Chain A
């Protein structure tokens, strides 16, 4: 079963605009990860944010995490046509021991289309 819900399901923007995708989840987590999947290709890891972190940056990507609301957002700035893909959030569960072997539970994804 899917843990997360992603919003919006689809997003269409012009090149140069920013894209924001949101993810909500249900159970406690060790970390939350964002992945990209292009048509016909495998999943590519974008960024990982740990449960004790609130914000993380990587190039044009900015991720926030609010564990009190069990939600995360991914912001892609100055989007490019090559950013067109499906974006998934995935959570690794937390446990009492504070460790996680990393089994991921994925959301249903947001389909991003960036028009040149």
Chain B
């Protein structure tokens, strides 16, 4: 069956550009998470959606980061005025309900030059 998909898989942005990263979760999964993974590190939580409601955005590093899931399925993570420190792999995960195992997408590798 179809897993979590993310696009683009790779993105190179010049410093100051805006980027939008897309996540298609597994159909019917209520919970959706975004994580940021720096090279050689474990993923770090960014934000969480339950259906279309963003219930936790405590991990977003600055107000340049914005996420939405308007219809409770596809989600977009937007980064405005990208900085070099934003370079990382951005992972999306979904789960059928809160608290259980999460299914991760392949990630989007963002490089800011």
**What is the interface of chain A, defined by CB distance below 8 A to chain B?**
1-2, 4, 30-31, 33, 35, 41-45, 48, 88, 90, 92, 99-109
Contact = CB atoms under 8 A, between A and B. Distances in A.
B44 A41 contact: no
The bracket for how many chain B residues form the interface is 20 to 34
Given A42-B107, A43-B91, A101-B55, A106 B42 contact: yes
A41 B4 CA distance: 12
B39 to A, nearest CB: 12
Contact of A104 (B40, B45, B55, B105): B45
A107 B103 CA distance: 18
A4 B45 CA distance: 13
B104 A103 contact: no
A33 B31 CA distance: 17
